[in-house]
């Protein structure tokens, strides 16, 4: 009897030894793995076909965005394959954990530490925007430390809902992102573009400097929208008294409700605070 050949990709999983779980994703887990042929350690994101109702569109989008992005501060997509049950995306491994975990462990960052971390992230986002890619899900869970050292650089991960724009005038409309990091124009369903990433970076900068999120007191998205659009940023004196005016000005310029007036990645990189001129070496723990 003639044997039905397995799809070739079915065997590809055997090229890797699967190890511990690095993180949990929406559609599966991410594992630390070893590529058998050369013993290189990689991260493999497993995406369950059953959770996508068999529709590969989402995975294909992630692959298509990532295959053209090569930057030292963006996780690299090395390979992809599938089995009967799963899709597998093979990435460069970041061993230092999520920025989220470091905020939870160490609390707030000094301004100088925040500058050194955020400069890398803004530089990587400028690279994305120069390549017409909007990430749309920037948050501390998706920013990973390359290694476990205290001064490890960060890499941007999770291009699961990233989008390549057709040009600078392209207008995106899909409502997506993570609660607490989403720009007001997304909630308003007004159409949006690259500035939504700058909003998220404003929230992240705020959070690492004080240890809480700027709109934590809002009960729902509508309430949050009202506060966002008033351009009120909650620099509660109890936590912000020792933090420079430069830092606050920088955050306010990112959390501008009008996307046209919000700092671009390039402008942010030229801001005196992110250039390190006004950032204090404060240890407010
Ligand atoms: P999802 O789109 O479901 O959020 P992610 O791509 O964000 O999936 O992966 C989920 C988690 O897995 C991340 O938050 C991170 O903790 C971990 N992870 C993802 N990619 C890597 C990587 N290249 N190296 C190390 N850990 C990773
Ligand atoms: Mg994620």
Q: From the CA of 46, which ligand is nearest?
A: 1
Please tell me the residue having the least CA distance from ligand 1 atom 20.
157
Nearest 5°: the CA angle 29, 105, 156 is: 50
The whole-number pLDDT of residue 2 equals 56
Nearest to 265 by CA among 67, 117, 118: 118
| 214-270 confidence digits (pLDDT tens) | 998 899 989 999 999 999 898 999 999 999 999 999 999 999 999 999 999 999 999
Q: For ligand 1, say whether the CB of 214 is within 6 Å of any of its atoms.
A: no
Residue partners of 285: CB distance under 8 A and separation at least 6: 106, 107, 108
| 262-284 confidence digits (pLDDT tens) | 999 999 999 999 998 877 777 75
| Low-confidence spans in the chain with pLDDT less than 50 | none
Residues with catalytic annotation? 137
For residue 25, count CB atoms less than 10 angstroms from its CB and return exposed for 0-12, middle for 13-18, buried for 19 or more. Answer: middle
Please tell me the residue having the least CA distance from ligand 1 atom 4.
25
- Best of 16, 24, 30 for a ligand 1 pocket test (most atoms within 8 Å of beta carbon): 30
């Amino acid at each position: 009897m003639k044997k039905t050949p397995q799809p070739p990709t079915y065997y590809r999983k055997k090229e890797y030894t699967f190890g511990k779980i690095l993180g949990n994703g929406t559609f599966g887990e991410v594992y630390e793995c070893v590529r058998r042929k050369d013993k290189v350690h990689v991260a493999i994101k497993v995406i369950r076909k059953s959770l996508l109702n068999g529709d590969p569109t989402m995975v294909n989008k992630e692959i298509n965005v990532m295959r053209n992005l090569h930057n030292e501060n963006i996780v690299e997509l090395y390979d992809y394959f599938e089995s009967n049950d799963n899709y597998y995306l093979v990435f460069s491994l970041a061993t230092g954990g999520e920025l989220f975990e470091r905020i939870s462990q160490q609390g707030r960052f000094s301004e100088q530490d925040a500058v050194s971390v955020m400069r890398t992230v803004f530089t990587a986002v400028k690279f994305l925007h120069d390549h017409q890619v909007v990430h749309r899900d920037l948050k501390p869970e998706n920013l990973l430390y390359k290694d476990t050292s205290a001064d490890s650089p960060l890499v941007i991960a999770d291009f699961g809902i990233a989008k390549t724009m057709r040009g600078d005038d392209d207008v995106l409309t899909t409502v997506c992102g993570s609660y607490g990091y989403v720009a007001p124009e997304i909630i308003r369903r007004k159409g949006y573009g690259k500035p939504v990433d700058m909003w998220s970076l404003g929230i992240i900068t705020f959070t690492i400097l004080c240890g809480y999120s700027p709109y934590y007191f809002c009960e729902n998205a509508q309430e949050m929208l009202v506060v966002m659009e008033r351009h009120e940023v909650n620099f509660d004196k109890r936590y912000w008294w020792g933090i420079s005016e430069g830092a606050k000005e920088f955050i306010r310029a990112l959390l501008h409700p009008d996307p046209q007036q919000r700092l671009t990645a390039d402008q942010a990189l030229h801001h005196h605070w992110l250039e390190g001129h006004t950032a204090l070496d404060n240890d407010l723990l």
